[in-house]
């Protein structure tokens, strides 16, 4: 197969495996995010792909060629790390052209390439400037330009935006996505920020404790989480314990609601997003009765906590901001469950 193939990679530092049997196919030209909480093994996996770390077992293939034992400098990958690791004693141009110089490119070729790459990252004309004179966002772009100088087959980024403030970070995420689409370069980004993954990736790989939990496009992962961990990690959700009554009807805290997806026999848990619950004054054929416990403004919407008798946790409902007047604390409400949006979890 063309692209990157990761086969049954395993890595142990001590008794607990950092990575357990990781297998993954990445088509050429795709933008993939390795996502998960701190310590789940994302960086270890990226470092193994880069060749900076050896796996305990398993194989890595690029366009059909086994590169498991190829040293990092012969893999033709571009890398950007959290620290950026720019050379402070070199100019912007000197940093970007560094690897080209080592490969013996003439001064003229280096000058042209620096110009092209600075245009690409929207920083034209700053080749002579010192790295120390740049802002955090500009350094970021220079690090990206430097990583792209050798036209790498694979572009690897390990939390490169975590030091930037929130606004700049969002702007850089959009920039990175634009650049990746423009160049069509296969890109792997490590992040613990689910919004960053949702904004940039074609495919999200969500990991926990060294194991892949789900591989899916962002929206699919949001809409059809594979298990409880995924449902909770990606966006806000309600996890509801239920008992199957047959025919799509399920019992929840003394009431019955309908869910479209066939529920398993007996007890199970399903996930429903806050925007898929509606507050109504009247009961429906699929609703729970409760009282408004707490509200929180989020700008375009209001997050409403509804306490329901017999349920351990409040239900969280997203309500359009214009409905604010109907949201007084203590008010009885019916929470209508949109049956098509409930996802049965393993």
Q: Beta strands 154-158 and 17-26: pairing type?
A: unpaired
213 part of the interface to ligand ADP, by CB under 6 A: no
Q: What is the DSSP string of 53-98?
A: S--SEEEEEETTEE-TTS-GGGS-EEEE-TT----TTSBHHHHHHH
How many CB atoms lie under 10 A from the CB of residue 68?
Answer: 16
191 part of the interface to ligand ADP, by CB under 6 A: no
Are the C-beta atoms of 9 and 45 separated by less than 8 Å?
yes
Q: Compute the least distance from the CB of residue 26 to ligand ADP, in Å.
A: 18
160 part of the interface to ligand ADP, by CB under 6 A: no
15 part of the interface to ligand ADP, by CB under 6 A: no
Size of interface with ligand ADP, in residues (CB under 6 A)? 10
320 part of the interface to ligand ADP, by CB under 6 A: no
| 3-class DSSP state of 208 | strand
Q: How many CA atoms lie within 13 A of 23 on its CB side?
A: 3
Q: Compute the least distance from the CB of residue 160 to ligand ADP, in Å.
A: 13
40 part of the interface to ligand ADP, by CB under 6 A: yes
Q: Compute the least distance from the CB of residue 143 to ligand ADP, in Å.
A: 19
Dist CA 153 CA 14 (whole Å): 33
Dist CA 35 CA 42 (whole Å): 7
Are the C-beta atoms of 216 and 48 separated by less than 8 Å?
no
Q: Which residues contact 200 (CB under 8 A, 6 or more apart)?
A: 31, 33, 173, 176, 177, 180, 189
Query: Which residues face 216 on adjacent strands?
Result: 204
Q: Compute the least distance from the CB of residue 229 to ligand ADP, in Å.
A: 14
The tokens for 28 are 């050429």
- Residue closer to ligand ADP, measured from CB, 37 or 320: 37
44 part of the interface to ligand ADP, by CB under 6 A: yes
Which region among 37-45, 218-226, 228-236, 307-315 touches ligand ADP (by CB under 6 A)?
A: 37-45
24 part of the interface to ligand ADP, by CB under 6 A: no
- Residue closer to ligand ADP, measured from CB, 147 or 207: 207
- Residue closer to ligand ADP, measured from CB, 118 or 156: 156
Please select the residue that binds ligand ADP; options are 43, 200, 214, 305, rule is CB under 6 A: 43
Which region among 32-40, 230-238, 256-264, 269-277 touches ligand ADP (by CB under 6 A)?
A: 32-40
36 part of the interface to ligand ADP, by CB under 6 A: yes
Residues that bind ligand ADP (CB under 6 A): 13, 18, 36, 38-44
């Amino acid at each position: 197969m063309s692209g990157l193939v990761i086969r049954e990679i395993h890595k142990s530092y001590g008794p607990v495996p950092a990575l357990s049997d990781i297998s993954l196919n990445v088509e050429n030209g795709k933008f993939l995010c390795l996502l998960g909480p701190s310590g789940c093994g994302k960086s270890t996996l990226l470092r193994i792909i880069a060749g900076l770390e050896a796996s305990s077992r398993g194989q890595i293939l690029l366009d059909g060629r086994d590169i498991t034992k190829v040293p990092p400098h012969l893999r033709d990958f571009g890398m950007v790390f959290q620290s950026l690791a720019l050379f402070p004693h070199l100019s912007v141009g000197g940093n970007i052209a560094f690897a080209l110089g080592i490969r013996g490119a003439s001064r003229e070729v280096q000058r042209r390439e620096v110009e092209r790459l600075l245009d690409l990252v929207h920083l034209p004309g700053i080749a002579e400037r010192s790295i120390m004179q740049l802002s955090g966002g500009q350094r970021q772009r220079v690090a990206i330009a430097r990583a792209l100088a050798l036209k790498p087959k694979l572009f690897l980024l390990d939390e490169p935006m975590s030091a930037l403030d929130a606004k700049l970070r969002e702007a850089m995420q959009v920039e990175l996505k634009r650049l990746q689409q423009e160049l069509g370069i296969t890109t792997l980004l490590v992040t613990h920020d689910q919004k960053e993954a949702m904004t940039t990736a074609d495919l999200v790989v969500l990991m926990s404790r060294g194991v892949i939990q789900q591989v899916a496009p962002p929206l699919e992962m949001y809409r059809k989480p594979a298990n409880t961990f995924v449902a909770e990690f990606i966006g806000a959700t309600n996890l509801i314990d239920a008992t199957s009554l047959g025919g799509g009807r399920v019992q929840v805290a003394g009431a019955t609601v309908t869910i479209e997806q066939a529920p398993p026999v007996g007890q199970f848990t399903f996930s429903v997003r806050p925007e898929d619950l509606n507050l109504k004054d009247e009961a429906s054929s699929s609703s729970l009765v409760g009282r408004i416990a707490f509200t929180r403004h989020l700008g375009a919407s209001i997050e409403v906590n509804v306490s329901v008798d017999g349920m351990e946790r409040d239900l969280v409902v997203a309500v359009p901001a214009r409905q604010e007047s109907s949201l007084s604390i203590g008010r009885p409400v019916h929470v209508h469950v949109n049956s098509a949006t409930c996802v049965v979890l393993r």
